Chains A and B, each alone.
Chain A
Amino acid sequence: MTIVSIERPDLVASPHSRLTSRFAGWVGFFLAAGLTAFFASKVPVVAAGETLRWTVDWVPTLGYQLSFYVDGLSLLFALLISGIGAFIFLYTPVYLSAYRHASRLVVVLILFMISMLGLVMADDMIALFVFWELTTITSYILIGFDHDNAKARRCALQALLVTGAGGLVMLAGFVLLGSAAGTFQLSELKAQGFHLAEHAAYLPILILILIGAFTKSAQIPFHFWLPNAMAAPTPISAYLHSATMVKGGVYLMARMHPVLGGTPEWAWILTIIGAATAVVASVLALRQTDLKLALAYTTVMALGTLTMFLGAEAGVAIAAAVTFLLVHALYKCALFLVVGIIDHGTGTRDAPRLGGLARAMPITTAAAAAAALSMAGFPPFLGFIGKELKYEGALAIASEPGLAITAAVAANAMMVAVAAIVGLRPFFARPVATPKVPHEAPFRMWIGPVTLAALGLFFGLVPPLVANGLVQPAVASVLGAPQVVKLALWHGINLPLLLSVVTLLLGVLVYVRHLQIRDSLAAFEARLPTDTDRVYDLSIDALKDLAAWQTRLIQSGVLRRYLFVVFAVVVLAVGGTLLMKDGLRLPQAWPDVPLPVWGMTALVLAGAVLTVLAKSRLLAICALGSVGFGVALIFLMYGAPDVAMTQLLVEILFVIIIAIVLLRLPRFGKRTAGLGASRWQDGVLAVGTGLVTTALMLAATRGPIDREITAYFEANSATEAYGRNIVNVILVDFRALDTLGEILVVAVAAFAVVGLVKLRQRRWRAS
């Protein structure tokens, strides 16, 4: 997304919107800076081996607590999230000053930062999941900020679906893990040690949780969403893809390391997926001409490397992962912000159209060069220490050192080349005419990259500062045991140093030939039949087709079909239950029924049969009336005169209303009376429903009845309510409120009828 692409006046900022976005930016900045200071003040405490925790009862009845827990690992992440966040909040309002809705973006960014902090500090797995999904949802809004653009919408939805689905899978893993271990608290899980590896559900738990981590951290085959997420404004990409969102999966794997790690399954899955991701992504990075996309692929590569190292048990491999995490966050964020400055200052970020910017942008050039050198792993930057440690760690990976070393060298060599393409070439190559005359960025934009790049150099010069304060406590929490980590620039002449030299040489070679390599990669890519992004599209289309197909199948819009299914389910469910619970029993003796009741029963039956068979509307109305009349007389004979009277009155009204309506409706057609093939089916179902109803009623009336409530009414009608007709007293006294409700229902029905009939065909005639 480039600033110049704005053509719609309604999206251009007004003075007022500029003011609000600046204000929101400052709110975010002070929040992030304050949090950074707070977390930084906790570094000595946590480095001493303590953990901080805060607990709030969340769902006490279910035993869920909202507890936050800060150990070395959480603190490292929290510092990165809030520290880098502060610079992002300075940068974003300036970068997006031309956009009307920049303040919205900043507000969502604040929410995202808080969710991310919650994610890395939550002690409860359910809370972790909630924060995890909150980052997914907020990132959806952030990536889709340019929502007039169909591509941005698609990419945002893709990120949401991929990471959201992964999150759900992960939740299943959490629930399994929680029930297997008996606790949802990560701190308690860690204290339990390795007992889970022998649990029967270990492998399902492992796979489910890793799918969550892999989708979030863009591991193969879920890597495609991350480069697409570059549809976001550049500072958002810088934030999401350097230190936060995509590192969520890495955090989860590091957090689960003491609980699920240490098994061959863990080691193999993480090493192979991580190595494959790192190598594939570094090749794809080289293929890009868009600087931002190149950076996106190196992010995928970095995530693969981190995954690979987290598969290991050795302390040095974990130390390599943690150090690289820090190194990567610093240089990657700086470079993303630099790309944003280039884009902002020149109007393009396409590599072939850039060159010779060093003169116009001296400060940015310095920051970019420093970050790129750290990325490439030159001494004395922290990147060099990180790379040495990576080689040492790769050698220590027990499962597959050869694979790890090869992957690490290949990926690092590509990183050298990409660092040169992104961080050096635009500034030092032969000058090229750019869409806009290049100019230096304002202070609030360059301060972030400069500080982050300078930190990469500073930490490299004083490695014990990072080693003791940040890396060592984090490694200790990943391994679940105290660990001594020593970082130094010079380790003597050894295999890692040798590998470093090889890497640099390879990297320079690749850079020199990168244009040819890019062309041949593009040619190769063009010949590939498909890629995972296409597979995603196909599966989304298939899902939509499936939904459409099953909607057509289930919701035919044919009333008879719905009713058929409903009645069939009633027959099967009620009949089946009666059969299984042994509820089917025929009455023993022929009932002793007075003659008038037989007469009324016959009347009702005859009416029902006649209603079904009637070919004329008038006959049907008469038959219906006789049913109602017969039922009223049955009520009367069994001691319910009030009910009978009501029924008679209602029946008279019925007949009048039905007659009025039916006279305006057409006569029954021929075929409605006939018995087609489907009517035989209907008949069978009708008889079945009737039989089930009879059986149910026989079962229900078989045993004795509890007349406790009736007894209360009988005892109190005269004494309490001064009425001698118990039914009347119930209606107007004991349950008077129910009767009021009933009156209300009838009144509403009456209004509705009047409304319906009065509402003439106005609307249809108008259209």
Chain B
Amino acid sequence: METVLAILVGSLVAATVFLMLSRNIVKFLFGLVLLGNAANLLIFAAGRLTYARPGLIPDGAAAPLGDVANALPQAMVLTAIVIGFGLTAFAFALVYRAYQELGTTDTDEMRVAEPPLDASQLDTPAQDRRAA
């Protein structure tokens, strides 16, 4: 069962990397969201998977009966989801403000704090950039 999740997490990470390498900062943010999901699944699966048996203790018992899902990674993932939400919300606000200030969502053009880019450092000809 962990094998399937391993493949799924790998796919999510691949999508993340591809999105983050985009010049559009919004796509970068999408990548960030996917990466959060991938990381949560990874932690979750690292604690091994138990199908349909949540970590609950029935009334009258002092401990769960039989094998139940590993509660420790669940607690961690729960925390991670909330913190990831805070991070993503903040990142979106930053991008929004950056767009307001700089008028662009192209990371290559966000160079207020950087020296001007040499022509040789660009992957694409300047004309192409203007067209975009």
Contact = CB atoms under 8 A, between A and B. Distances in A.
B54 A639 contact: yes
Interface in B101-127: 101, 105-108, 110-111, 113-115, 117-118, 121, 123-124
B55 A612 contact: no
B118 to A, nearest CB: 8
Contact of B124 (A641, A676, A693, A742): A676
Contacts of B53: 639
A333 to B, nearest CB: 51
B93 A709 contact: no
B8 A604 contact: yes
A724 interface: yes
A524 interface: no
Given A638-B52, A682-B21, A707 B70 contact: yes
B12 A604 contact: yes
B63 A714 contact: yes
Nearest to A749: B86
A24 B110 CA distance: 54
Interface string B42-79: 10111111111111111101111000111110110111
Nearest to B8: A601
Interface in A584-639: 587, 591-594, 597-598, 601, 604-605, 608-609, 611-612, 617, 620, 624, 627-628, 631, 634-635, 637-639
Contacts of A182: none
Contact of A710 (B16, B71, B81, B108): B71
A237 interface: no
A48 interface: no
Contacts of A620: 30
A554 interface: no
A28 B131 CA distance: 72
Contacts of A662: 26
Contact of B115 (A557, A634, A679): A557
B96 A670 contact: no
A665 B89 CA distance: 15
B75 A731 contact: yes
Contacts of A730: 71-72, 75
B46 A635 contact: no
B96 to A, nearest CB: 5
Interface in A644-673: 646-647, 650, 653-654, 657-658, 661-662, 664-666, 668-672
B4 A601 contact: yes
A516 interface: no
A726 B45 contact: no
B interface: dominant SS: helix
A610 B64 CA distance: 41
Given A601-B8, A686-B17, A731-B79, A592 B1 contact: yes
Contacts of A705: 47-48, 70
A650 B82 contact: yes
A605 B95 CA distance: 27
Contacts of A612: 15, 18-19
B1 A597 contact: yes
A643 interface: yes
The interface centre, meaning the residue of B16, B72, B105, B124 with most chain A CB atoms within 10 A of its CB, is: B72
Contacts of A598: 4
Contact of B49 (A638, A679, A689): A638
Nearest to A738: B79
A750 interface: yes
A559 B107 contact: yes
A710 B21 contact: no
A627 B47 CA distance: 21
Interface string B9-42: 1111111111111111011111001100110111
Contacts of B45: 697, 701
A726 B63 CA distance: 10
Contacts of A695: 10
A750 B81 CA distance: 15
A354 B68 CA distance: 100
B78 A611 contact: no
Contacts of B52: 637-639
Contacts of A351: none
B2 to A, nearest CB: 4
A8 interface: no
A641 B52 CA distance: 9
A484 to B, nearest CB: 70
Given A591-B1, A697-B9, A726-B57, A560 B21 contact: yes
A624 B12 CA distance: 11
A746 B93 contact: no
A549 to B, nearest CB: 12
Given A617-B26, A654-B85, A640 B74 contact: yes
B71 A726 contact: yes
A564 B123 CA distance: 14
Contacts of A605: 8, 11
Given A690-B17, A727-B71, A638 B50 contact: yes
Contacts of B11: 605, 608, 690
B1 A669 contact: no
Contact of A593 (B4, B46, B117): B4
The interface centre, meaning the residue of A611, A662, A691 with most chain B CB atoms within 10 A of its CB, is: A611
Contacts of B57: 714, 717-718, 724-726
Contacts of B78: 642-643, 646, 727, 731
A698 interface: yes
A718 B28 contact: no
Nearest to A671: B132
A640 B13 CA distance: 23
B88 to A, nearest CB: 7
Contacts of B37: 604, 627-628, 631
A750 B86 CA distance: 7
Given A639-B55, A726-B55, A664 B10 contact: no
Contacts of B132: 669-672
A738 B118 CA distance: 47
The interface centre, meaning the residue of B11, B27, B64, B117 with most chain A CB atoms within 10 A of its CB, is: B11
A173 B71 CA distance: 56
B82 to A, nearest CB: 6
A715 B63 contact: yes
The interface centre, meaning the residue of A609, A640, A670 with most chain B CB atoms within 10 A of its CB, is: A640
Given A624-B33, A724-B57, A558 B79 contact: no
Interface string A174-194: 000000000000000000000
Contacts of B55: 639, 714, 725-727
Contacts of A714: 55, 57, 63-64, 68, 71
Contacts of A672: 22-24, 27, 132
The interface centre, meaning the residue of B12, B22, B51, B70 with most chain A CB atoms within 10 A of its CB, is: B70
A192 B90 CA distance: 66
A694 B10 contact: yes
Closest 6 A-B residue pairs measured CB to CB?
Answer: A690-B14, A639-B69, A694-B10, A557-B114, A749-B86, A686-B18
21 contacts: A591-B2, A612-B18, A624-B34, A627-B12, A634-B5, A638-B49, A640-B77, A658-B29, A665-B105, A668-B27, A669-B106, A678-B123, A682-B18, A689-B17, A694-B10, A705-B47, A707-B70, A710-B70, A726-B68, A731-B79, A761-B100
Interface of B: 1-24, 26-30, 33-34, 37-38, 40-42, 44-59, 61-64, 68-72, 74-75, 77-79, 81-90, 92-97, 99-101, 105-108, 110-111, 113-115, 117-118, 121, 123-124, 128, 131-132
Given A638-B52, A672-B132, A678-B123, 7 more contacts: A559-B108, A631-B41, A643-B78, A669-B106, A686-B16, A701-B48, A718-B57
